[in-house]
Amino acid sequence: MRFEHGRGLPGSVLDTGAAVWIRDVTQDPDFQRAAAAKACDLHAAFAFPVLAGDDVLAVMEFFYRSSLEPDEPLLAVMGQIGTQLGRVMERKRAEDKLIYDASHDPLTGLPNRLLFTDRLDRAVAAHKRRPEIGFAVLFIDLDRFKLVNDSLGHAAGDALLIEIAGRLSAVLTKEEGHGVLPTLARLGGDEFTILLEELDSSSIAIEIAERLQDALRRPLTIEGQDVYTSASIGIASSDAGYSSAADLMRDADLAMYRAKSEGRARIEIFDQSLHETATRRLSLESDLRGALRKQEFVLYYQPIVALDGGDIVGFEALVRWQRGSGELVPPAEFIALAEETGLIVFIGNWVMRDAFATLAAWQTAHPRSVPLTMSVNVSPRQFRQPDFVEQVIAAVKESGARPDTIRLEITEGVTVQDADHAIGILQRLREFGVRVSIDDFGTGYSSLSYLHQLPFDTLKIDRSFVNALQEKSDGNRIIQTILDLAKSLNMDVVAEGAETEHHVDQLREMGCRFAQGYYFSRPLDHTAATALLRR
């Protein structure tokens, strides 16, 4: 029976929070169960609240066979009991809430990693007992979530996550009961995981993944703006015979990474080849650490040439990894991993020290009216080091080279991420005297609105534009535009990747003053570069 607030015996106790005594319920017009009381031959009744502070948690009723006058001492005792009971209930609730909070994500209310792994552990154990029934783990990562967060702010990011969680669980609710037992969890950030149990076949997991992607594809409205999102999903299933939850999570995660790297908004299923790639990566990482310890990095130097006259004005230092086997590994094969693992900070620091020392030696051996310059590449991670400026200053001072002969090459992406911070760093570097170049210009997000605020000295045109140089073509027009832009911003220009005489002639004609490329020289080791300078 449902009691309205203020109606009937429990309703009025609930409303007032005070005990109520009724001499004879069969005579009470407000007592709604008079007929039942008569049938059971019950007459007197009292009820009291179970209280937590002023909140009524519950109401308890007692009945008696004959009618009775109110017994105040009895009511007082029962009131005390109600308060005690309330405390017990409150403690239990707090305990439940603690357990709930520790196992759920506060933003979306979904199970968190702890609860998810616990369920997965149980699924792994259950599968051992009943191998014919399968399960799968889906690892979901939103594509471009960072973009929303960075452009619309954290509140919008939170709203997006809540909306996404709702969409995912709506899809899963529909699946539930059709031979699938789903658990959706949020691991943190934009990472969600789903455990699908009771699967007859792992192909069901793929179908569900597709439905999830469809659900995310519809645009979301966040703070009045249409936001488009998609998800990359990795799947690992019990088919592969797992013995631990951690292994499953790792493999579903690996599959998700592949989905991302193959172009996002994709579904990938874990297989052995993925495992091998990951293992290779891991061993490359530990080899890289070893390379640092064993000092296996070497610098090659590529001359930068003045197009009128053909003089070498400086060099760009380019790192290579000389493996114990003698193999020379190009930076394309290890810089990205070094960046991801943070090893680039150490490599980059070594590069600066070594290159500046070489520069100082060359400047002493070959004094000229305009001293030779040295360019080194600075990675995004290196640039973001809080003491980056201090590292540069220390390396320059230690070498004895003149600061104004040093060029730090930075790609556009680094500065666009946090322009204000970048401007500050660049200004401090210039105050010290070193010069800064913008590398691979035209390949990143060239933000023209920032470019004029960023105190760059030199702009390096990416070699893809030089490559496209043909007689009277768009390639020429792009380079001409970049040259004009640089001129109006008062920057020097170095064209990269000049490979042919034609390139060089064209560049010179268009007014580009400096270039580097295979036409002049490939990057040379220290000995060959020293010999070239002497010549």
CA–CA gap between residue 276 and residue 279 (Å, rounded): 5
Contacting ligand C2E (CB under 6 A), which of 50, 307, 319, 408?
Answer: 319
CA–CA gap between residue 519 and residue 535 (Å, rounded): 17
CA–CA gap between residue 159 and residue 163 (Å, rounded): 6
CA–CA gap between residue 136 and residue 183 (Å, rounded): 11
CA–CA gap between residue 376 and residue 405 (Å, rounded): 11
Q: Which does 330 bind (CB under 5 to 8 A by kind): Mg ion, ligand C2E, none?
A: ligand C2E
**444 belongs to the binding site for ligand C2E (CB under 6 A):** no
- Written as six digits, the tokens of 511 are 């007014």
**241 belongs to the binding site for ligand C2E (CB under 6 A):** no
Query: Measured from the CB atom, is 48 or 465 closer to Mg ion?
Result: 465
CB 204, CB 130: distance < 8 Å = no
**Segment near ligand C2E (CB under 6 A), from 1-9, 88-96, 147-155, 490-498?**
490-498
Residues 354-413 that bind ligand C2E (CB under 6 A): 377, 379, 409
- Written as six digits, the tokens of 439 are 């590398």
CB 461, CB 494: distance < 8 Å = yes
**86 belongs to the binding site for ligand C2E (CB under 6 A):** no
Q: Which of 447, 487, 482 has its CA nearest to residue 463? A: 482
CB 149, CB 142: distance < 8 Å = no
Instruction: Please give the helix or strand (H or E) that residue 232 lies within, else none.
Output: strand 230-237
**Segment near ligand C2E (CB under 6 A), from 7-15, 251-259, 475-483, 515-523?**
515-523
* Radius of gyration, alpha carbons of the chain: 36
Q: Which does 518 bind (CB under 5 to 8 A by kind): Mg ion, ligand C2E, none?
A: ligand C2E
Contacting ligand C2E (CB under 6 A), which of 332, 369, 471, 490?
Answer: 332
* DSSP label of 229: -
**497 belongs to the binding site for ligand C2E (CB under 6 A):** yes
CA–CA gap between residue 103 and residue 123 (Å, rounded): 17
**517 belongs to the binding site for ligand C2E (CB under 6 A):** yes
**305 belongs to the binding site for ligand C2E (CB under 6 A):** no
**335 belongs to the binding site for ligand C2E (CB under 6 A):** yes
Contacting ligand C2E (CB under 6 A), which of 518, 525, 528, 533?
Answer: 518
Which residues are bridge partners to 377 per DSSP? 409
CB of 435 to Mg ion, least distance (A): 14
Query: Measured from the CB atom, is 271 or 287 closer to ligand C2E?
Result: 287
Identify residue 90 by its one-letter amino acid code: E
**501 belongs to the binding site for ligand C2E (CB under 6 A):** no
Query: Measured from the CB atom, is 305 or 318 closer to ligand C2E?
Result: 318
CA–CA gap between residue 254 and residue 277 (Å, rounded): 10
Q: Which does 47 bind (CB under 5 to 8 A by kind): Mg ion, ligand C2E, none?
A: none
| Phi, psi angle pair for 132, to nearest 5° | -75, -20
CB of 516 to ligand C2E, least distance (A): 6
**Segment near ligand C2E (CB under 6 A), from 143-151, 202-210, 230-238, 511-519?**
511-519
**350 belongs to the binding site for ligand C2E (CB under 6 A):** no
Strands 492-495 and 267-269: unpaired
Contacting residues toward Mg ion, per CB under 5 A: 377, 409, 439-440, 496
Contacting residues toward ligand C2E, per CB under 6 A: 302, 318-319, 330-332, 335, 344, 348, 351, 377, 379, 409, 439-440, 463, 496-499, 516-518, 523
